[in-house]
Amino acid sequence: MRRILLLYSNNEGDQMLNLDFLMVNLPEDIQNLVIYGDYEGARRLIDLKLKKNIGDMLRDRLLFEKERLMRLEGEYIYPFDEALKLASSAIKDFTQEELERLKEEGYADWAFVNGKLMFHRRFLENIKKTLPEIKDRLMDSGEDSDKESDILDATVKNIIEHGQKAYHIHVKTGVKLKKEAERAGEKVRVYLPIPAAEKGIKNIKILNTSHKPAFTSPDYHPSRTVYFEENLKSGDVFFVEYSYENHVSYIKLDYNNVDADQPVFYTEEMPPHILFTPYLKNLAAKIVGFEKNHLKKARMIYDYITCHVKYSFVRSYSTLPNIPEYAALNLKGDCGVQALLFITLCRICGVPAKWQSGLYVNPYHIGCHDWAQFYVKPYGWLYADPSFGGGALRKGSNKLWDFYFGNIDPFRMPANSEFQQEFAPKKSFLRSDPYDNQVGEVEYESGNVYSNDFESIMEIIDMHEL
């Protein structure tokens, strides 16, 4: 797939992966089989189509579709009976009718795979996370979740009252190939995300690594990694241990303080996802109307997403043809899907907006997270976290809902400041996640290693307030 390896520069000068071929529609007969879930039939038709005299972009789109179908088969793994049994073991008095209802309401993601209705591998996590009314019915009490919520509430309250907060954070992250994916003696290339010198991030230190790094990205690289290149040994673990400080300052926003003249950088399209499609343009116009104030426009977009797009785990981003439109059409999505919808709608409305992602790290939890930034003079770059804001709204906390428009908590490790950004050195094969990097990427000289073939390592070693 030669086009996947090509790069282009946006008007900020960064090298972005060229995935324009994903905007090409599938031929109708293949699309029909994909929708029905006849993946084997779709693969046969793709192979027949590839033998014909077709354009390069369609050829690359068809080759990618074969890989996408393979990824989808790994995403939707539970037939109805197994899903019901799994949910019943975790939720008291869970019924078949309840699973049917949650399926219809979009809380239990499903698809047809090889002609059979299958539920997503994280459907149960999604139900437990997004439906507060079942909390008392869970077999697992979730005490750590309550502690996470309490410390977040207290931290945000303190930031608002005192204007700032800082934490020292020391973590260890890495990957370990599963036994069946190990190829001892072969050269393996590993990219692990590390903190970038973004706003408020100070004193970044690489404290320890499993192997000698072949390359470490510059501090301000938009998708920063430490890179290893080794002949694999059986049982090899690749890790990086680092520390950093995150200093946040509270910004109290005032609509009357917004400049009339605003910049136009970060307002362009970036295919295949940040596209000004007819529906998204229509939706943006409905949300902001005739509003001219950039801060008000961004807030109106934030309010729409947090009020109407419910949080939901989704399948691999590489399987979604247009992520922001997916969120807008289905009114659901995880943190990155919601952030990308916010970014796209802001850009349509002339408000500069961009991506940021990495890890969310508090004293009780470490995990992947994505959020957004938007630019309004005279404030400069501000934060928006629609998924945290929407979660706060569901819990009845208007204070946190307001906070996550413009501000951010200190429990972040930003590794990526651009969406769809190439690594340094660049990867030879299409990544497991072509758009983001939170847990790491692995490849052999002969091909990519997918994320379901390795285990992620995330460990909090030390975290304390400064």
DSSP assigned state of 199: T
Residue 6 in this model has a pLDDT that exceeds 70: no
- Could you tell me what percentage of the chain is helix, strand and coil, using 3-state DSSP and rounding each to the nearest 5? 40, 30, 35
Over residues 70-107, the pLDDT tens digits come to: 999 999 999 999 999 999 999 999 999 999 999 999 89
Q: What was the pLDDT predicted at 395?
A: 87
Domain boundary, last residue among 139, 174, 199 = 139
Residues 54 and 179 in one domain: no
Confidence of residue 144 (pLDDT cuts 50, 70, 90): low
288's CB contacts (< 8 A; 6+ apart) are 296, 297, 300, 301, 349
Over residues 388-408, the pLDDT tens digits come to: 999 999 889 999 999 999 999
Residues 189 and 321 in one domain: yes
Residues 3 and 93 in one domain: yes
Over residues 306-334, the pLDDT tens digits come to: 999 999 999 999 999 899 999 999 999 99
Domain boundary, last residue among 104, 122, 139 = 139
The encoded tokens of residue 233 equal 């040994």
Residues 324 and 463 in one domain: yes
Is pTM beyond 0.85? Reply is yes
Q: What was the pLDDT predicted at 386?
A: 98
Q: What was the pLDDT predicted at 17?
A: 83
Residues 269 and 322 in one domain: yes
The encoded tokens of residue 418 equal 């651009």
Residue 92 Cα distances to 83, 123, 208, 264, angstroms: 15, 17, 45, 53
Residue 129 in this model has a pLDDT that exceeds 90: no
Q: What was the pLDDT predicted at 14?
A: 58
SS (H, E, C) 355-407: EEEEEEEECCEEEEEEEEEEEECCCEEEEECHHHHHHHHHCCCHHHHHHCEEC
β-pair partners for 360: 367, 412
Residues 200 and 130 in one domain: no
Domain housing 66: 1-139
Q: What was the pLDDT predicted at 5?
A: 41
**Secondary structure of residue 332 in the 3-state scheme:** strand
Residues 131 and 153 in one domain: no
Residues 277, 282: Cα–Cα separation, whole Å: 9
Q: What was the pLDDT predicted at 356?
A: 98
Over residues 109-128, the pLDDT tens digits come to: 999 998 899 999 999 999 98
The residue with greater pLDDT, 159 or 106, is: 159
Residues 129 and 237 in one domain: no
Over residues 342-375, the pLDDT tens digits come to: 999 999 999 999 999 999 999 999 999 999 999 9
Residues 51 and 153 in one domain: no
Residues 147 and 89 in one domain: no
Residues 289, 47: Cα–Cα separation, whole Å: 47
What is the rounded average pLDDT for all residues in the chain?
93
Residues 4, 11: Cα–Cα separation, whole Å: 20
Asked if residue 142 lies in contact with residue 134, where contact means CB atoms within 8 angstroms, the answer is no
Confidence of residue 149 (pLDDT cuts 50, 70, 90): confident
Q: What would the mean pLDDT of 235-255 be, rounded to a whole number?
A: 97
Residues 190 and 231 in one domain: yes
DSSP assigned state of 211: S
Residue 1 in this model has a pLDDT that exceeds 70: no
Task: Give backbone dihedrals phi and psi of 422, rounded to 5 degrees, phi first.
Answer: -75, 150
What is the percent of the chain with per-residue pLDDT over 70, rounded to a whole number? 96
Residues 463 and 398 in one domain: yes
Residue 13 in this model has a pLDDT that exceeds 50: no
Residues 164, 54: Cα–Cα separation, whole Å: 58
Task: Give backbone dihedrals phi and psi of 60, rounded to 5 degrees, phi first.
Answer: -65, -35
Over residues 15-36, the pLDDT tens digits come to: 778 889 999 999 999 999 999 9
Residue 143 in this model has a pLDDT that exceeds 80: no
Residue 200 in this model has a pLDDT that exceeds 80: yes
Q: What would the mean pLDDT of 271-300 be, rounded to a whole number?
A: 97
Q: What was the pLDDT predicted at 7?
A: 39
Over residues 238-247, the pLDDT tens digits come to: 999 999 999 9
Structurally, how many domains does the chain consist of? 2
Domain boundary, last residue among 119, 139, 159 = 139
